[in-house]
């Protein structure tokens, strides 16, 4: 392996997303035969002390306290953006302008305008760019896509997409950044709704062309947060307004003529990370729930649904890991993501999902917000 070209990675942010991206960079070379070997070069964060501690724990060789410095470094060829959505555009555009390859966490940006600027920057850039909709790299989701491509499902009649979580059911859960519009852009809609819009478009190979939407914020005020890294936080006695949606429901039409429903909520008591897709076609059907992520359910239209344990050697990504029946976990979706990104960088291919794909998701979210604001009126998604 020593004769392989290495590529330096610089990561911005080290909270939840930064931790899982680190594990991906650290592990990918042990399981995949890579054309480029990633080197975990630099981690950027605002606090020197905390960034250094994170770098030590997560395995990054150096730190920066300003992402601009990271972007400038010669030992960094790939910039991996794991910050909240409000800084995605600025960092990504700067990195692309500096000739770097960019992986950016989802949603691509907090507004369509930002996302458009990012797409423009990506279009003219030497570096490759990808938005990190990691669920595309769940083996079962990738297998679902394969089945649709192979024609096993036929014409898509109906997509049922849901992303159900419950981590803010408690009214005392504090006002973390994910509940503030200026930082997060949107609530359940942007955070997890974006995933199911992307997954639906990815698996079906179609676009959501119009939507009708309802959104709701059940708990209007929450204790101010003493923010810390990760999702966890502790609340204070003072309250502040929740400025994003707690739940977003929308129905829509697909470019192929089918119907679709989307439900993103953080109030589904007892559901922890139920990212679900149920897809009904003229020839067959598919069902998936991330809470049982190693399973894909497939019907060929008779009286049965087959539970496929997606761990066979010929299943997407699965052959790189363990024998059949030895399942994968959440983090592996990111390992697959960086593997495919490295492959694209090495071969000069355009990685997917592209920034343009991310923008398309953003436009769907924007249409959802517009519909919700206009009496749920059916709203076409801009192209």
Of 240-299, binders to a copy of itself (CB under 8 A) are: 247, 249-253, 257, 259, 261, 263, 265, 267-274, 280-285, 290-295, 298-299
Nearer to a copy of itself, 26 or 72 (CB): 26
CA distance 229 to 270: 24
Considering only residues 43 through 82, tell me which ones interact with a copy of itself, judged by CB under 8 A.
53, 56-59
- Based on the shown chain and the rule CB under 8 A, indicate whether residue 354 belongs to the binding site for a copy of itself: no
Residue 274: strand, helix, or coil = strand
What is the rounded distance in angstroms from the CA atom of residue 77 to the CA atom of residue 67?
14
Q: How far is the CB of 159 from a copy of itself (least distance, A)?
A: 10
Closer of 127 and 139 to a copy of itself (Cβ): 139
**For a copy of itself, the closer CB: 121 or 368:** 368
Least distance in Å: CB of 322 to a copy of itself? 5
Output b/e per residue, 190-228; b: 16+ Cβ within 10 A. Answer: bbbbbbbbbbbbbbbebbbbbbbbebebebeebbbbeee
Build a one-symbol-per-residue string for 143-182: x at contacts with a copy of itself by CB under 8 A, - elsewhere.
--------------xx-x-x-xxxx-x-------------
CA distance 180 to 192: 15
Q: Given the structure tokens 């809609």, which residue do they identify?
A: 189
Asked if 311 interacts with a copy of itself (CB under 8 A), we say yes
Among 124, 150, 238, 302, binds a copy of itself (CB under 8 A): 302
Quick check: 327 binds a copy of itself (CB under 8 A)?
yes
38 binds a copy of itself (CB under 8 A): no
**Residue whose CB is less far from a copy of itself, 198 or 357:** 198
Shortest spacing between CB 97 and a copy of itself, in angstroms: 32
Structural Rg of the chain based on CA atoms: 20
Q: Using the rule CB under 8 A, which residue among 112, 209, 309, 346 binds a copy of itself?
A: 309
> Site for a copy of itself (CB under 8 A): how many residues?
95
Beta strands in 45-99 (DSSP E): 62-64, 78-81
- List all residues 6 or more positions away from 324 whose beta carbon is below 8 Å from its beta carbon: 309, 311, 312, 313
- Which range in 176-184, 198-206, 307-315, 348-356 contacts a copy of itself by CB under 8 A? 307-315
* Closest to 195 (Cα-Cα) out of 362, 79, 366: 362
| Chain-centroid distance, C-alpha 139 | 15
- β-pairing, 156-164 vs 274-281, is antiparallel
Query: Per CB under 8 A, which region of 16-24, 99-107, 114-122, 337-345 contacts a copy of itself?
Result: 16-24
Nearest distance from C-beta of residue 113 to a copy of itself, angstroms: 26
Query: Closest CB to a copy of itself among 18 and 127?
Result: 18
Rule CB under 8 A: say whether 229 interacts with a copy of itself.
no
Our measurement of the distance from residue 200's CA atom to the centroid of its chain's CA atoms, rounded to an integer in Å, reads 13
Pairwise CA distance, residues 2 & 178, whole Å? 42
Task: Compute the distance between CA of residue 144 and CA of residue 90 in angstroms, rounded to an integer.
Answer: 35
Q: Which of residues 195-214 bind a copy of itself (CB under 8 A)?
A: 212-214
Query: What does residue 173 show for φ and ψ, rounded to 5 degrees?
Result: -60, 135
Footprint of a copy of itself on residues 100-129 (CB under 8 A)? none
* CB of residue 38 to a copy of itself, shortest distance in Å: 13
């Amino acid at each position: 392996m020593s004769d392989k070209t290495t590529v330096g990675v610089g990561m911005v942010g080290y909270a939840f997303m930064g931790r899982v991206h680190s594990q991906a960079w650290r592990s990918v070379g042990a399981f995949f035969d890579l054309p480029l070997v990633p080197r975990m070069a630099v981690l950027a964060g605002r606090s020197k002390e905390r960034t250094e501690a994170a770098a030590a724990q997560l395995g990054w060789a150096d730190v920066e306290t300003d992402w601009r410095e990271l972007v400038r470094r010669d030992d960094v060829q790939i910039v991996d953006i794991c910050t909240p959505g409000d800084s995605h555009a600025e960092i990504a555009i700067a990195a692309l302008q500096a000739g770097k390859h960019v992986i950016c966490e989802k949603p691509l940006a907090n507004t369509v305008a930002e996302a458009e600027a990012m797409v423009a920057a990506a279009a003219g850039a030497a570096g490759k760019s990808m938005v990190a909709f990691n669920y595309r790299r769940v083996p079962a989701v990738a297998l679902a896509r394969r089945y649709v491509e192979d024609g096993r499902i036929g014409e898509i009649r109906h997509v049922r997409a849901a992303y159900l979580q419950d981590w803010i059911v408690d009214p005392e859960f504090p006002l973390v950044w994910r509940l503030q519009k200026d930082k997060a852009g949107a609530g359940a809609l942007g955070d997890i709704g974006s995933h199911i819009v992307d997954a639906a478009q990815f698996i079906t190979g179609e676009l959501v062309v119009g939507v009708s939407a309802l959104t709701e914020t059940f708990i209007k005020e929450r204790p101010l947060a003493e923010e810390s890294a990760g999702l966890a936080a502790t609340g204070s006695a003072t309250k502040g307004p929740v400025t994003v949606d707690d739940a977003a429901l929308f129905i829509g039409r697909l470019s192929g003529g089918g119907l679709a429903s989307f439900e993103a909520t953080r109030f589904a008591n007892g559901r922890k990370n139920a990212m679900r897709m149920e897809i009904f076609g003229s020839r067959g059907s598919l069902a998936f729930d991330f809470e049982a992520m190693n399973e894909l359910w497939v019907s060929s239209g008779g009286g049965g649904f087959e539970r496929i344990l997606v761990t066979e050697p010929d299943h997407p990504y699965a052959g790189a890991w363990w024998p059949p029946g030895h399942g994968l976990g959440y983090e592996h979706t990111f390992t697959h993501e960086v593997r495919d990104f490295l492959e694209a960088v090495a071969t000069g291919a355009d990685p997917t999902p592209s920034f343009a794909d991310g923008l398309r998701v953003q436009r769907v979210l924007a249409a959802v917000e517009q519909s919700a604001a206009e009496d749920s009126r059916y709203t076409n998604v801009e192209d």
